[in-house]
């Protein structure tokens, strides 16, 4: 349940859009607002950082409703200088779920104040269901085809496997859903196991912190970029596997860890990074993985660095969106015209 924000007429009688710092400080200090401890810290820090004797009413609403806004980042920056609190690892008496939330905070977020904010405002609803649902569907589809073909490795060598309406095949590129649905098909048990393990270990914590919309957007952008890139660079090749989305998540997380190396508190981070890179480099379908990694390093890294901030207000976000749309339009025209113009002989679709 969201805290009740006092009516604007009570704090801003002249309807200027700003609240006097004296009124705002008195309101907060007398606990008329029922807030989480970390959110109360942010409000006090926002007051202390103001030099004009005013607080924007809209910033107050955004902060209290947990909306991502620039005011959060400014309050965080001031909070680092003025708020002296014990680090999250020192908190005792936590239940199992809260200990897991604390673990996720240290896995994903590089700043102690961000970790405390996430820990105090985290709610189980909505749960991180996107990655879990994708993984379950992938396992079910693999099991169905494994039973039907009586084959659990190198399923692509079976004609019936390639006849699936989910596989991307250049001969069926007019069926647009195949540019996405190929992520549910896998060559064999080893590819499925690798993708499922990585997307659960990395994707679920990312979704818990950054939300289902941002992480699903990142994952699906990696999937789409993977199939489109293969359709351009290897025009005769079919594609299966969800590695484009997995690489988008992994590369974004690894890049975020590297750029915030000193602040990240996840254990054995160097060893885990080396193992992840070794595993990622051992899979086939290089171009699909490369395109997923590019999406992760560009779009994904910006998303991960914008915790509790609005993406729409950042110029770099729109540059990335424009670049992705440009690539998308180029790939569409390529798939419509290039095959005929270049005289590419496509293997007959199964």
Q: Which of 181, 231, 289, 306 is catalytic?
A: 289
Question: How far apart are the two ends of the chain, measured CA to CA in Å?
Answer: 54
Pairwise CA distance, residues 310 & 274, whole Å: 32
Axis-axis angle for helices 212-233, 286-295 (nearest 10): 140
From 148, 139, 101, 106, select the one nearest 122 (Cα to Cα): 101
**Nearest-10 Cα torsion for 73, 78, 79, 82:** 180
Residue 120 annotated in active site: no
Tell me if 279 sits within 8 A of 194, measured CB to CB: yes
From 99, 35, 88, select the one nearest 65 (Cα to Cα): 35
Q: Report DSSP letters for 165-182, one per residue.
A: TTSB-GGGTTSTTHHHHG
For the chain, where are the E strands, in sequence order? 18-20, 54-56
Q: Residue 17 region, left (φ>0) first, then alpha (ψ -120 to 50), else beta? A: left
Q: Which of 69, 181, 216, 243 is catalytic?
A: 243
Q: Report DSSP letters for 194-251, one per residue.
A: HHHHHIIIIIHHHHHHH-HHHHHHHHHHHHHHHHHHHHHHSTT--B-SSHHHHHHHHH
Pairwise CA distance, residues 201 & 134, whole Å: 14
Tell me if 281 sits within 8 A of 289, measured CB to CB: no
In degrees and rounded to multiples of 5, residue 14 shows phi and psi of -90, 0
| Residue 236: alpha-carbon gap to chain centroid | 32
Residue 323 annotated in active site: no
Residues designated as active site: 243, 289
């Amino acid at each position: 349940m969201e805290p009740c924000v006092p009516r604007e007429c009570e704090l801003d009688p002249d309807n200027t859009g700003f609240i006097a710092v004296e009124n705002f400080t008195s309101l907060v200090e007398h606990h008329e607002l029922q807030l989480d401890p970390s959110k109360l810290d942010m409000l006090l820090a926002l007051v202390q950082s103001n030099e004009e004797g005013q607080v924007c009413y809209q910033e107050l609403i955004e902060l209290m409703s947990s909306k991502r806004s620039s005011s959060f980042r400014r309050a965080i920056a001031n909070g680092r200088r003025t708020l002296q609190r014990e680090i999250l690892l020192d908190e005792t008496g936590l239940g199992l779920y809260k200990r897991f939330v604390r673990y996720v905070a240290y896995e994903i977020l590089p700043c102690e104040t961000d970790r405390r904010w996430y820990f105090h405002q985290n709610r189980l609803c909505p749960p991180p269901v996107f990655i879990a649902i994708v993984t379950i569907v992938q396992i079910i589809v693999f099991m169905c085809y494994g039973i039907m073909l009586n084959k659990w490795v190198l399923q692509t060598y079976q004609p019936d496997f390639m006849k699936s309406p989910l596989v991307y095949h250049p001969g069926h590129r007019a069926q647009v859903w195949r540019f996405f649905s190929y992520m549910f098909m896998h060559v064999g048990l080893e590819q499925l196991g690798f993708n499922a393990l990585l997307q659960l270990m990395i994707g679920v914590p990312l979704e818990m912190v950054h939300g289902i919309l941002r992480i699903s957007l990142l994952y699906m952008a990696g999937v789409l970029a993977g199939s489109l890139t293969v359709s351009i660079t290897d025009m005769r090749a079919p594609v299966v596997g969800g590695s484009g989305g997995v690489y988008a998540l992994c590369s974004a997380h690894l890049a975020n860890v590297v750029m915030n190396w000193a602040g990240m508190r996840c254990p054995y981070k160097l060893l885990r990074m080396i193992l992840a890179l070794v595993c990622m480099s051992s899979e086939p379908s290089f171009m699909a993985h490369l395109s997923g990694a590019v999406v992760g390093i560009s779009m994904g890294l910006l998303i991960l660095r914008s915790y509790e901030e609005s993406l729409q207000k950042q110029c770099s976000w729109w540059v990335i969106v424009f670049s992705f749309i440009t690539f998308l339009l180029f790939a569409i025209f390529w798939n419509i015209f290039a095959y005929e113009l270049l005289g590419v002989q496509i293997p007959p679709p199964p």
